[in-house]
A and B are shown apart, each in its own frame.
Chain A
Amino acid sequence: GNSVTQMEGPVTLSEEAFLTINCTYTATGYPSLFWYVQYPGEGLQLLLKATKADDKGSNKGFEATYRKETTSFHLEKGSVQVSDSAVYFCALTRGNQGGKLIFGQGTELSVKP
């Protein structure tokens, strides 16, 4: 079946450090891939997405590239801020499954000043 695996958290970084959160997926065909972010006490917000191989999604300094050869969609940011502290979810959808999102387990990021 379709699934998403993320690196386990929590991840603790100092401000201005480089961030990588690994995400790999298992899916038939060509899924669309997403990163969602959840700030404390809030719902999930779309951070970025990519719909085909080699696409790069980017937003707010975050970026991720759809790598079909490695079935990966790693999230990166060059310089994190305290305000980036949140839980990050990698997810995929498949067209023949009604557009429903299949989520990874989430990775908590804590950025210290």
Chain B
Amino acid sequence: DAGVIQSPRHEVTEMGQEVTLRCKPISGHNSLFWYRQTMMRGLELLIYFNNNVPIDDSGMPEDRFSAKMPNASFSTLKIQPSEPRDSAVYFCASSLYGMGQDTGNTIYFGEGSWLTVV
């Protein structure tokens, strides 16, 4: 089975440019997560969706960041305008989640999008 698929794997862009990161979750999963990984802050949850609806976006750093999930098989994370401090690895992850239960459902991660803003 295909895992979580992210694109692009690597992106180098100039400050001020728009960046769009894409994610295809595992088929049948109903929860999708965007994480950011940096040396300074470790792994941070930016936003997560359940059944395509954003549930918690409190981790989105500022208005320059936006995320959408137009259908169950696709999500985007946009940064506009990008800044050098946005340089990080952005991970998309998905799971099959049973609401209200600690089912221990595994969250599967993509390979990450390695973003460098110069």
Contacts and interface: CB of A to CB of B under 8 A. Distances in A.
Interface of A: 29-32, 34, 36, 42-46, 49-51, 89, 93-103, 105-106
Given A32-B104, A97-B56, 5 more contacts: A43-B110, A46-B107, A49-B104, A94-B102, A101-B45
Contacts of B42: 103, 105-106
Contact of A95 (B33, B102, B108, B109): B102
Contact of A46 (B43, B91, B108, B112): B108
Nearest to A92: B102
B82 interface: no
Given A43-B109, A43-B112, A46-B108, A51 B31 contact: no
Contacts, number: 67
A37 B33 CA distance: 18
Nearest to B47: A100
Interface residues of B, number: 28
Interface of B: 31, 33, 42-43, 45, 48, 50, 55-56, 91, 93, 95, 97-112
B73 to A, nearest CB: 19
Contacts of B98: 95
